Structure formats: structure tokens, C-alpha cells
């Protein structure tokens, strides 16, 4: 473990970049979560808009959106992830609409003011930022007035995880998501410092930076969390039923605050 969480996180994500498109980063359960985030972007933001992907990983989402006519700047703190995104853009012939660059979310204010119509962040990059308050202020600068933030964020109350670790009598593990600050989460023999968040905590941080919460739903609420993909594969009918439940009930009051992740749509106030 390094002294600096950002360095630990970079090393950890660099180490998984080569295999990320397989079961570790894009298994069938993850694809169901990803689909919800992409649907929210398509619903809220017109094609042709300028998007910034915060924590793009290997560029799966960025390529998906560039193929649909968006102009995407894909950013990540891990140089290996950025390299994979650049390769994807080149091999898919998307280089005109998809630019990948190394940039931490904590560095976002370095970008030109009002450069983007919307930002999205899929599957937890915003949980890895040491000072999310400062990042929210930076994001408010680089978005145009009325700009969108569509984020899937790792939540605190994951019913499956609680049940799983309670059944194993592993209360230390069951409690991990309720820690106050960032906690060290193992990844591929390395450490990712992760700050779990309630949706209300997340919305409050962004409200102070000028954003308003418009939509929220639980992800991985009825569906098991991504690390239970072997279980999901053994029970395809159950998993399909749970996916339908999640689709129908994931936006309901109370339930929308639970899940492995939550999806939130926020809008920056239009300046007078
Ligand atoms: C779980 S992956 C999700 C990747 C991608 N959004 C996806 O949906 O496949 C988390 C990503 O966040 C990136 N990340 C972690 N900390 C970051 C930071 N401070 N700034 C930008 N990216 C970061 C990691 O390098 C990794 O690519």
C-alpha cells in the first residue's frame, strides 16, 4: 500500500486494464448496470452534444456514445485505461468523435470553462476521488449552464451483500460500506481507496456546487452485485426475473436509495 490513495488507485486500475473488458469489468451483470446509465444519457442529452466521460475505463461507454453521434472526451486517471480507450477509438474508426486523455477527476478544473454539455461517470469513478466537493465545483465550471451529470455511484446499502456476509457471519465485511471515509478495497492484489456514499450525501455535495437532483434509481438492487456473476449464470431464469423487478421497482421511493450502485441524473443550474 502506498502513502497516497491516488497513486494506489492508479496502480490498481492500471493492473486490470488489459483484462477489464472480460468478466472482471464487463460481465453480464455489469452490462445490465451499464445499460441503465447509457439509457439515461440517451434520454437526457441530444446526439451531437459534447460529453465528458469521467473515469472512462477502457472506453466501452465512450465508444458506444461516439457511435451514436456524440462528441466524447474520455478521461481517466489510469494511463493504461486511457491507452485502451485510444486503441478502441482508433480501431473502431471513431477518432474524429472520441478523444481519450489522461486526466483525474480531481484535475477537471484544468479544462476550459463551459466546454461540455454533459458529463457522465459510470460504475464508481466518483467514489475514488479524495475531495469530491472540489471535483463537483470543478465540474460545474467545465459544464455549460443547464449541463447534465449522469453518474452511477457505489452505494452503501446493497441488500445482496448484507445478506451474503450476514449469512457467513462476516460482520466486518458486511459493515464496510458504512465507513465514514475512504476504505481500502482489494483489487487484483492492489488497493482501491473507495468512499461509499448514500445518494443523499452525493446529491448534497453536488447541490452545493450548483446541481439539482432530477432522477435516481437503485442499480444492483434486486440483481446481485457484479462479483456474483457465477451465481447469476447458474440461475438465468431467476436473474431475468430479478432484472424485470429492478426495471419496474428500482426508481421507487426508499428502494431507489439502495443497491450495489445508484444512478443519479443531476442538472447544473442555468446561469441568469
Ligand atoms: C470500475 S472502473 C469503471 C470504468 C468505466 N467507467 C466503465 O464503466 O467501464 C473505475 C474507473 O475509474 C477510474 N478512476 C479511478 N479514480 C479516478 C480518478 N480520480 N479520476 C479519474 N478516473 C479515476 C479508474 O482508473 C477506472 O478506469
- Report the chain's mean pLDDT, rounded to a whole number: 96
The preferred substitution site among 21, 82, 128 for testing ligand 1, maximizing ligand atoms within 8 Å of CB, is: 128
User: 251 with 264: CB under 8 angstroms?
Assistant: no
Give the residue-averaged pLDDT of 88-117.
97
Give the residue-averaged pLDDT of 209-231.
96
In this predicted structure, what is the pLDDT of residue 194? 98
Q: Among residues of the chain, what percentage have pLDDT more than 90?
A: 96
Helices (H), 22-78: 23-26, 28-44, 60-67
**Ligand 1: nearest atom to the Cα of 13:** 25
Ligand 1 binding pocket (C-beta < 6 A) is 9, 13, 25, 34, 55-57, 60-61, 76-78, 81, 104-106, 122-125, 128-129
Rounded distance from Cα 121 to ligand 1 centre (Å): 8
Global pTM value: 0.96
In this predicted structure, what is the pLDDT of residue 271? 66
Distance of CA 187 to the CA centre of its chain: 16
pLDDT in tens, 151-184: 999 999 999 999 999 999 999 999 999 999 999 9
Distance of CA 193 to the CA centre of its chain: 15
Q: Pick from 256, 225, 257, 255: which is nearest to 239 by CA?
A: 225
pLDDT in tens, 53-71: 999 999 999 999 999 999 9
As a whole number of angstroms, the distance between CA 150 and CA 42 comes to: 11
Amino acid at each position: 500500500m502506498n502513502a497516497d490513495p491516488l497513486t494506489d488507485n492508479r496502480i490498481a486500475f492500471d493492473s486490470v486494464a488489459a483484462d477489464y473488458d472480460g468478466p472482471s469489468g464487463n460481465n453480464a451483470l455489469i452490462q445490465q448496470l451499464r445499460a441503465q446509465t447509457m439509457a439515461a444519457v440517451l434520454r437526457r442529452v441530444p446526439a451531437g452534444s459534447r460529453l465528458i466521460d469521467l473515469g472512462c475505463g477502457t472506453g466501452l461507454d465512450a465508444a458506444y456514445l461516439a457511435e451514436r453521434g456524440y462528441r466524447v472526451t474520455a478521461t481517466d486517471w489510469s494511463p493504461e485505461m486511457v491507452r485502451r480507450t485510444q486503441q478502441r477509438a482508433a480501431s473502431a474508426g471513431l477518432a474524429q468523435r472520441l478523444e481519450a486523455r489522461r486526466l483525474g477527476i480531481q484535475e477537471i478544473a484544468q479544462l476550459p470553462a463551459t466546454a461540455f454539455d454533459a458529463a457522465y461517470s459510470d460504475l464508481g469513478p466518483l467514489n475514488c476521488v479524495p475531495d469530491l466537493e472540489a471535483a463537483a465545483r470543478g465540474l460545474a465550471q467545465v459544464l455549460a449552464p443547464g449541463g447534465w451529470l449522469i453518474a452511477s455511484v457505489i452505494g452503501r446499502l446493497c441488500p445482496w451483500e448484507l445478506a451474503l456476509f450476514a449469512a457467513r457471519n462476516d460482520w466486518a465485511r458486511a459493515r464496510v460500506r458504512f465507513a465514514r471515509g475512504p476504505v481500502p478495497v482489494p483489487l487484483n492484489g492492489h488497493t482501491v481507496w473507495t468512499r461509499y456514499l448514500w445518494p443523499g450525501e452525493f446529491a448534497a455535495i453536488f447541490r452545493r456546487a450548483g446541481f439539482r437532483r432530477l432522477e435516481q434509481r437503485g442499480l444492483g438492487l434486486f440483481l446481485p452485485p457484479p462479483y456474483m456473476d457465477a451465481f447469476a449464470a447458474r440461475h438465468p431464469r431467476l436473474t431475468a426475473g430479478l432484472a424485470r423487478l429492478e426495471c419496474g421497482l428500482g426508481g421507487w421511493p426508499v428502494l431507489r436509495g439502495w443497491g450495489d450502485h445508484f444512478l443519479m441524473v443531476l442538472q447544473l443550474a442555468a446561469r441568469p
